[in-house]
Amino acid sequence: MPDKQAQERERELLQRFRQVLQAFTHDNVPLQVSATYALQVFCYQHQFPKGMLLRWFNLLYDLEIVEEEAFLRWKEDVNDEYPGKGKALFQVNQWLTWLEEAESDEDDSDQD
């Protein structure tokens, strides 16, 4: 896992490109799913650096670049076209479970 300084650089880098990424992916869940697959393949090509996929999922979510729906579609999508899905799912499964629970809690409170 990279040190705190490297993680800050990752966040700053993504923050710098946030507006551009949002311009392309805003309200376009299929494109957000594609971006998630691109990140999966990148991590696969680099032998899944420890914690990287989870960090980037968090960043993409926190910076509102990729929405819950896109992450959950990626999770459910069965697609052999992009390598590394099994390992990717293993690394982010707990986070996705948290996301699903947070989304269902949100749905419940919307109905009150």
Residue 103's pLDDT band (cuts 50, 70, 90): confident
12, 50 in Cβ contact below 8 A?
no
- The 10s digit of each residue's pLDDT in 46-83 is 999 999 999 999 999 999 999 999 999 999 998 889 99
Provide the sign of the torsion angle of the four alpha carbons 1, 25, 74, 61, taken in this order: positive
Task: Name the pTM for this structure.
Answer: 0.86
Quick one: pLDDT at residue 102? 84
Domains and their CATH numbers in the chain: 4-110 (1.25.40.180)
| Other CB atoms within 10 Å distance of the CB of residue 4 | 8
CA atoms of 72 and 102, how far apart (whole Å): 12
